Amino acid sequence: MIADRERTAERLLKSSADRSYDPDVDIDWDADLAPDKYFLPAHRCSLYGTPLWDGLSVEQRIELTKHELASIASVGIWFEVILMELLVRHAYNADPLTRHTQYALTEVADECRHSVMFARLIEKVGCPAYGPGHTALRLGRIFKDIAFGPSMFAGILVAEEITDALQRESMNDPSVQPLVRMVNRIHVIEEARHVRYAREEVLRGTPGLSRAALAYHRFMLARTAYIVTRSLIHPRVYRSVGLDPYEARRVAWANPHYQETLRWAGSKLVSFLDENTLIDGPSRKLWQAVHLV
Ligand SMILES: [Fe+2]
Ligand SMILES: [Fe+2]
């Protein structure tokens, strides 16, 4: 049974009023970073368990997790900016008096604060905003102009749920920097509402699709999942510890630990989308190529 659209939005608005954060005041940006703490749980680093990892000192391992965190955060900003545009478009010709539209606008406000928070995090740790790379930037521009319906909301879920799994683990890990744990905690709390909103739209939008429409949404969604997953770690991060970016990237994608991390981070999302027939047919190969299926 799918919950009533207005009732869900009403609940999400109430939760937003009760529990929202302002990263400007809720985070102590002046606190020093801990010299001996990781920026991601070490076992989630893309090279963890490989000979390249074994060749790094503890300081270099910490440094690499810092750059991987910055890469993921900058890809988060990229996707949130896309998402804000999609939500604004979703609200454009919708009735502003519905709770559903009001919640879409509230979510834009959440994402707006998140993107500034991630930007300040990257700045604080002293890394570049790597971003998703040229190809993904170009494809993202097309995606944000043409996305609609189930593959739009499911595409949003891909970015939100994969990062959510990583952040939930990281926020509870005492080996991770306190600042990073706090950023993750804020993001996890607010994203839970977004996931609820998008999942229900997927549930409402998918069952009535024609066969051709379903094939289209499956393909668009698989492309999104492929591009987002491939973009998370920019190859240039490996230069921070003196590794060749393209060699290290090849090792990372062949790394069974990293493949398992991706599978684990996407598992709840993938079972939800699979149950709703959105992962099937020829596009399944794209999901497999990035180890989500
Ligand atoms: Fe967000
Ligand atoms: Fe979100």
Cα(145) to centroid(ligand 1), Å: 20
Residue 71 has a pLDDT of 98
Cα(51) to centroid(ligand 1), Å: 34
Residue 2 has a pLDDT of 77
Residue 281 has a pLDDT of 87
Residues, CB within 5 angstroms of ligand 1 (ion): 111, 114
Alpha-carbon gap, residue 263 to 281, rounded angstroms: 20
Alpha-carbon gap, residue 281 to 256, rounded angstroms: 26
Alpha-carbon gap, residue 156 to 224, rounded angstroms: 9
Q: What is the pLDDT along the chain (293 residues), one digit of tens a residue?
A: 678 999 999 999 999 999 999 999 999 999 999 999 999 999 999 999 999 999 999 999 999 999 999 999 999 999 999 999 999 999 999 999 999 999 999 999 999 999 999 999 999 999 999 999 999 999 999 999 999 999 999 999 999 999 999 999 999 999 999 999 999 999 999 999 999 999 999 999 999 999 999 999 999 999 999 999 999 999 999 999 999 999 999 999 999 999 999 999 999 999 999 999 999 889 999 999 999 99
Model's pTM, two decimal places? 0.96
Look at the chain and count its residues: 293
Residue 161 has a pLDDT of 97
Residue with tokens 């996407």: 266
Task: Please provide the distance, in angstroms rounded to a whole number, between the alpha carbons at the two ends of the chain.
Answer: 26
CA distances from 84 to 77, 92, 144, 188 (A): 10, 12, 10, 18
Q: Considering every ligand atom, which ligand is closest to the CA of 160? A: 2
Cα(111) to centroid(ligand 2), Å: 6
Segment 258-261 long-range contacts (CB within 8 Å, at least 24 positions apart): 258/46, 258/47, 258/48, 259/291, 260/291, 261/43, 261/44, 261/46, 261/166
